[in-house]
């Protein structure tokens, strides 16, 4: 079966480009802003609620990082049931995500994305009237972290143990975050304070055993001892604030 995203997406994009895109808001609300999938459970459930006044058609699938994915092209070790469902106004629906067992790394988290596409109903014109409308199918994408059992440490400890340093390249100075843990760390806010000045470093996500460079706009000299204030998004989607310091 062809994906609904394929059949409606192109038409909606053309209309938006021709007519302009007014703001659109999703009626279907997803419980949470991320999904943490403990490997030991084998499955997790995500709750949806239609807060709108009209029914909506929902299509859901998981991809491994391609924002242009569709249910037909995404190849991941997960199943989402139901993959396609009608939600009446004011009603709820659970999505069940099942791990199919294909091998994934056991020493670190793996990152996937949950897609939830909301397609509103076609407006009904009054008898004898023509009605020109612009409709939007709204797709939400949430990070899905597959977390193997027995990982070293825990997420909170990993968040506190980020190693920071100021580095330079052809584009200027940046704040480098080094993550030695097996967990993905997402920064909602990062700033550097040096010699009485504070520099915004923005946001980003650093993968397990990797580093991330955050540009420091306005910093024009090297610093070796500075304070880093940063907020990490935890498993529940809330922010946890930490302090660190840079080292050479």
The residues, any chain, with a CB within 8 Å of residue 77's CB and separated by 6 or more, are: 99, 100, 101, 102, 104
Task: For 35-81, write each residue's pLDDT tens digit.
Answer: 999 999 999 999 999 999 999 999 999 999 999 999 999 999 999 99
Q: Tell me how far CA of residue 27 lies from CA of 3, 57, 136, in angstroms.
A: 21, 11, 11
Report d(CA 16, CA 136) in Å as an integer. 8
Query: Nearest Cα to 216, choosing from 194, 233, 237?
Result: 194
Band (20; pLDDT cuts 50, 70, 90): very low
pLDDT at 129 over 90: no
Closest to 56 (Cα-Cα) out of 139, 143, 142: 139
Q: Which domains does the chain have, with CATH numbers?
A: 4-147 (2.60.40.10), 155-245 (2.60.40.10)
Average pLDDT, the chain: 88
| Residue 125 in tokens | 């014109």
Which pLDDT belongs to residue 1? 45
The predicted pLDDT at position 3 comes to: 52
More confident call, 169 vs 84: 84
**Out of 10-19, 51-60, 139-148, 233-242, least confident range:** 10-19
**Whether the Cβ atoms of residue 74 and residue 102 lie closer than 8 Å to each other:** no
The stretches of the chain forming alpha helices (DSSP H) are: 4-19, 155-160
* Mean pLDDT computed over 80-88: 97
**Sheet harboring 138-147: ordered strands across?**
34-38, 138-147, 110-119, 56-63, 84-87
């Amino acid at each position: 079966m062809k994906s609904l995203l394929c059949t409606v997406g192109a038409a909606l994009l053309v209309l938006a480009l021709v007519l302009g895109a007014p703001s659109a808001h999703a009626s279907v609300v997803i419980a949470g802003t991320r999904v943490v999938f403990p490997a030991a459970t084998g499955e997790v459930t995500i709750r949806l609620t239609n807060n709108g006044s009209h029914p909506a058609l929902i299509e859901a699938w998981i991809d491994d990082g391609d924002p242009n994915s569709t249910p037909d092209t995404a190849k991941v070790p997960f199943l989402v049931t139901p993959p396609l469902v009608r939600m009446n106004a004011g009603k709820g629906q659970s999505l069940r995500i099942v791990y199919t067992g294909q091998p994934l790394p056991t020493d670190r988290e793996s990152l996937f994305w949950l897609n939830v596409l909301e397609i509103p109903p076609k407006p009904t014109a009054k008898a004898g009237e023509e009605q020109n409308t612009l409709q939007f199918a709204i797709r939400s994408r949430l990070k899905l972290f597959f977390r193997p059992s027995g990982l070293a440490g825990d997420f909170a400890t990993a968040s506190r143990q980020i190693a920071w340093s100021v580095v330079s390249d052809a584009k200027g100075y940046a704040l480098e975050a080094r993550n030695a843990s097996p967990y993905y760390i997402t920064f909602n806010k990062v700033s550097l304070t040096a010699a009485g000045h504070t520099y915004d470093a923005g946001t980003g996500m650093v993968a397990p055993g990797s580093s991330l460079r955050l540009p420091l706009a306005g910093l024009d000299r090297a610093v070796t001892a500075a304070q880093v204030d940063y907020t990490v998004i935890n498993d529940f989607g809330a922010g946890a604030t930490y302090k660190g310091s840079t080292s050479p």
